[in-house]
């Protein structure tokens, strides 16, 4: 389906859908500095083929959603100090953007799936909009608690370095970065990574947007007390080779949510390689089916 836009307050959130509008909605939320096209078209089609109305969107400050170009991102010192006052917006605001996409489609509730920062946003959707959340899958993410789910020190230069502005250099940089984040058990699909990088560059965006998103992550704090209040089918998925968000972050998240299922995938790093799709899609579908079965009994 062609790109559409949801008006959420002063912002426009770009989104696309796959599958039949009459099927159960499944909302996909992407991670830090990464556009919705990183949910590969074929990945979305596979979920749609399982009987879901799949929705993906660009978060604010990325892709074709509104860019807060006039807002200064937090500086390095503020990020290191985890200063919430330096963040231009919150993960809660980003969760409201996701719910705004559901509003634009006239959808009351959805199965919510997020990866990395998108997992944090998905958690916030469940926390702040429980009536809109049918089930929750948090992937390669953490609970906001400082001592779990932190990146390896060797990755900080990769995280803090800016992307090139020239197209071919940007594509090489993006492919190399996501290849570095891949695990030992799943070879990255270079054709997929290159396609996503090309589409991302061509769709545009403010290069300072990811720094503003990072401010929202740092400002959010420990979500565990709020996650403990959730009462919905939930699954936490994490790769055991993830060096960007240590698997301890997934374990802490699963411990915090009553009845959550923890799925750890050996050899998977921080990404969605095509070869791992069966292991990633299976728990998404199982969680949604568990929620739908429970709803049928209520």
In this structure, the strands spanning 11-18 and 53-57 are antiparallel
All domains of the chain, ordered by start, with CATH? 4-297 (3.40.50.1820)
Strand partners for 136 = 112, 234
Q: Determine the Cα–Cα distance for residues 40 and 193; give it in Å rounded to an integer.
A: 10
The two tokens of residue 52 are 């879901």
Strand, coil or helix: 112: strand
Q: Of 247, 244, 114, 267, nearest to 177 (Cα)?
A: 244
Asked whether residue 126 carries a pLDDT value surpassing 50, the answer given is yes
Token pair 């916030």 in the structure block, residue: 124
Q: Of 221, 290, 199, nearest to 82 (Cα)?
A: 221
Max CA-CA distance within the chain?
Answer: 55
- Render pLDDT for 131-190 as a digit per residue (tens, 0 to 9): 999 999 999 999 998 888 777 666 656 665 678 889 999 999 999 989 989 999 998 999
- Render pLDDT for 80-113 as a digit per residue (tens, 0 to 9): 667 777 789 999 999 999 999 999 999 999 999 9
Instruction: Identify whether the C-beta of residue 101 lies closer than 8 Å to the C-beta of residue 13.
Output: yes
């Amino acid at each position: 389906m062609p790109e559409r836009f949801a008006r959420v307050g002063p912002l426009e959130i770009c989104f696309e859908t796959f599958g039949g509008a009459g099927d159960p909605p499944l909302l996909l939320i992407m991670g830090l500095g990464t556009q919705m096209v990183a949910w590969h078209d074929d990945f979305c089609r596979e979920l749609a083929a399982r009987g879901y109305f799949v929705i993906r969107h660009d978060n604010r400050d990325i892709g074709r959603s509104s860019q807060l170009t006039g807002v200064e991102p937090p500086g390095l010192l503020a990020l290191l100090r985890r200063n919430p006052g330096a963040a231009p917006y919150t993960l809660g605001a980003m969760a409201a953007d996701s719910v705004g996409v559901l509003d634009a489609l006239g959808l009351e509730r959805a199965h919510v799936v997020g990866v990395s920062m998108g997992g944090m946003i998905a958690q916030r959707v469940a926390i702040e909009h429980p009536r809109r959340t049918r089930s929750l899958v948090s992937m390669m993410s953490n609970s906001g608690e400082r001592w779990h789910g932190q990146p390896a020190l060797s990755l900080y230069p990769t995280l803090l370095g800016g992307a090139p502005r020239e197209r071919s250099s940007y594509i090489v940089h993006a492919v190399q970065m996501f290849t570095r984040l891949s695990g030992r058990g799943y070879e990255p699909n270079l054709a997929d990574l290159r396609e996503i990088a090309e589409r991302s560059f061509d769709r545009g965006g403010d290069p300072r947007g990811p720094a503003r998103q990072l401010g929202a992550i740092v400002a959010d704090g420990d979500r565990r007390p709020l996650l403990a209040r959730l009462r919905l089918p939930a699954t936490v998925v994490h790769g055991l080779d993830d060096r960007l968000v240590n698997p301890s972050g997934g374990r802490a998240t699963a411990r915090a949510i009553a009845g959550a299922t923890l799925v750890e995938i050996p050899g998977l790093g921080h990404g969605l390689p095509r070869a791992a799709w069966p292991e990633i899609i299976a728990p998404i579908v199982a969680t949604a089916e568990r929620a739908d079965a429970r709803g049928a009994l209520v």
